[in-house]
């Protein structure tokens, strides 16, 4: 029998003990769990970043994985903690909309509000240790979700901005996410872009979409479809956000080349 997999996604960073303590608590409840870090470097309190990273990651994990997301700007308030069950996966997260994109892709998902309470009063600043980790461990060890949560009809949702048609046969989108390399991911999917195009963002115009970073000279700007199949602005061997002045929320325009 394969070991249960728990995947962590947090904004804790690695300088403090938070991630290690969560893993220690999980091990108490499920010693056989294989705990995998998706990332512990989500920008602090950025629910949108967490939602996007989770959306781009979860399909690559084995069936039965328990995803535990602790990006929780509402920690210490009366916000709910959720369990979302799909046909293949389980997700644990605050009810702050970070599970909305995943739930939207999963027909038949079931939603639960965690009712588990730790034997001692939980910390108002570290629910990851006191609630999220025990819940993940209990589910990984075979516990029934109904023993620690009650079913609810829906969860809080938000819509990731969508690209749309623009003038002159173009496409208008926005920068959603800047990764640690400084690459700027837009919300323009590959299937919206056809033929030879030029891309404009932050006052810079890029001709064509590259197949690889290395097609371009070091230090030059380029457009490329990333591993999410979304249009990305990058600089070969450089940081596009810094060099080009790109920020999240900036408009991106794609137009056919004449």
CATH topology of domain 5-152: Rossmann fold (3.40.50)
CATH code of domain 164-256: 2.40.30.90
- Residue pointed to by tokens 């890029």: 206
pLDDT for the residue numbered 1: 59
Strand 90-94 with 66-70, pairing: parallel
Domain ranges of the chain: 5-152, 164-256
Residues in the chain, overall count: 258
What are the residues whose beta carbons fall under 8 Å from the beta carbon of 146, sequence distance 6 or more?
A: none
Distance from C-alpha of 48 to C-alpha of 98, rounded to nearest angstrom: 7
Q: How far is CA 37 from CA 44, 67, 132, 216, in A?
A: 17, 10, 15, 32
Q: pLDDT per position in the chain (258 positions), as tens?
A: 589 999 999 999 999 999 999 999 999 999 999 999 999 999 999 999 999 999 999 999 999 999 999 999 988 888 899 999 999 999 999 999 999 999 988 888 999 999 999 887 778 889 999 999 999 999 999 999 999 999 999 998 888 899 999 988 899 999 999 999 999 999 999 999 988 999 999 999 999 999 999 999 999 999 999 999 999 999 999 999 999 999 999 999 999 987
With beta carbons less than 8 A apart as the criterion, state whether 35 and 8 touch: yes
With beta carbons less than 8 A apart as the criterion, state whether 234 and 246 touch: no
Instruction: Spell out the long-range contacts of 237-240 with Cβ–Cβ below 8 A and sequence spacing 24 or more.
Output: 237/213, 238/182, 239/181, 239/182, 240/182, 240/183, 240/184
- Residue pointed to by tokens 């979409």: 209
């Amino acid at each position: 029998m394969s070991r249960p997999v728990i995947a962590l996604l947090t904004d804790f960073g690695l300088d403090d003990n938070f991630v290690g303590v969560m893993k220690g608590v999980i091990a108490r409840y499920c010693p056989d769990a294989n705990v995998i870090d998706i990332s512990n470097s989500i920008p602090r309190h950025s629910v949108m970043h967490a939602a996007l990273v989770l959306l781009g990651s979860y399909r690559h994990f084995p069936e039965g994985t328990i995803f535990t997301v602790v990006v929780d700007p509402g920690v210490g308030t009366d916000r709910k903690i959720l369990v979302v069950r799909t046909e293949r996966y389980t997700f644990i997260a605050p009810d702050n909309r970070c599970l909305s994109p995943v739930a939207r892709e999963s027909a038949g998902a079931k939603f639960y509000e965690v009712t588990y309470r730790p034997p001692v009063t939980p910390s108002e600043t570290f629910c990851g240790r006191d609630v999220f980790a025990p819940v993940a461990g209990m589910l990984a060890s075979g516990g029934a979700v109904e023993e620690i949560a009650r079913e609810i009809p829906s969860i809080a949702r938000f819509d990731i901005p969508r690209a749309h048609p623009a003038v002159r046969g173009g496409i208008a989108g926005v920068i959603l996410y800047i990764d640690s390399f400084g690459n700027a991911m837009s919300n323009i999917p590959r299937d919206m872009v056809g033929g030879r195009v030029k891309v404009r963002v932050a006052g810079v115009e890029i001709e064509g979409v590259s197949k690889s970073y290395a097609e371009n000279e070091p230090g030059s700007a380029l457009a490329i479809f990333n591993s999410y199949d979304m249009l990305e602005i990058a600089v070969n061997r450089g940081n596009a956000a810094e060099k080009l002045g790109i920020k999240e929320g900036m408009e991106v325009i794609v137009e056919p080349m004449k």
